[in-house]
A and B are shown apart, each in its own frame.
Chain A
Amino acid sequence: MKSTLKRAGYSKVQRQMNDVFIHFTSKVIFLIILLFSINLFMAGHYTPGGGFVGGLLAASAIILLLIAFDYETVRKMIPVNFHFIITLGLTLAIVAPTLLFFFGTPFFTHQHTYINVPVFGEVAVHTAMLFDAGVFLTVSGTALMIVTLVGGTDE
């Protein structure tokens, strides 16, 4: 473990290093990145965005926490196995188009309607969003699993 400070002569640099700035900043920016990923996920019908980019951005928000803190802390914060996230996303992505056979239309023909929500007014409800949620979960779980497998130290 050759660090820049250790080569300069500080021997106990690993114990004494206080990362208070990166800890506090990552806690704030984590929420901003997660909010922006949900915004990208919701805006993906007519404007740039969608499940893939949203999932990658949500994964990168958790990667920021992995960089700022460590693997054990993040696993205590998010006590879900990444394989379970991938399985849930793939199940959602195969079940949502299959259930659309009950409408008597071909595969992947989505249905939509408009409902009235008290605060937001008229909101479009689209079944493509269920499929996109599956893509979101699959992409974020896969990216997190790859990063923790490649970048983590083995014990």
Chain B
Amino acid sequence: MTNFVNIIVIICIIAFAFAMLGMLYRILKGPTLHDRVITLDAFGVTLMGMIGLVSMALDTSYLLVVIMLIGMIGFIATIGFAKFLEKGVIIENDRDNNS
């Protein structure tokens, strides 16, 4: 990798780190639960981008599996939080009988 791309990647990693600091403030200080849930989802997406940049800096392709793993786990977590906010229960026992 050329020197120019290396400098750009390092600048992008620092920018993502500052973005994650802002999201951490919103998670700790968020007024409602909805803000925290949306920020947690954005935090996962930013983490995926940061791991992609680190795999560019290290010049390896082994970390791409980690990105897909974080994406799937974050998707399931967002679905669970959304169902908790909408219905108040995450795993229903029998949804037809309105338990």
* Partner-B contacts on A (CB < 8 A): 1-5, 14-15, 17, 22, 26, 29, 33, 36, 40, 43, 47-49, 53, 57, 60, 63-64, 66-73, 147-148, 151-153, 155
Contacts and interface: CB of A to CB of B under 8 A. Distances in A.
Contacts of B79: 22, 26, 64, 67-68
Max chain A Cβ within 10 angstroms of own Cβ: one of B66, B95, B98: B95
Contacts of B73: 60
B68 to A, nearest CB: 7
B62 A60 contact: no
Contacts, number: 73
Contact of A70 (B65, B76, B91): B91
A49 B88 CA distance: 35
Contacts of A43: 65
A15 B69 contact: no
Contacts of B68: 36
Contacts of A60: 72-73, 76
B66 A48 contact: yes
Interface residues of B, number: 26
A6 to B, nearest CB: 8
A70 B23 CA distance: 33
25 contacts: A1-B89, A14-B87, A15-B98, A17-B87, A29-B75, A36-B68, A40-B65, A40-B69, A47-B62, A48-B63, A48-B65, A53-B69, A57-B72, A60-B73, A64-B79, A67-B76, A67-B79, A67-B91, A70-B91, A71-B94, A73-B95, A148-B91, A153-B89, A153-B99, A155-B93
A5 B86 contact: yes
Interface in B53-99: 62-63, 65-66, 68-69, 72-73, 75-76, 79-80, 83, 85-95, 98-99
Nearest to B92: A70
A69 B86 contact: no
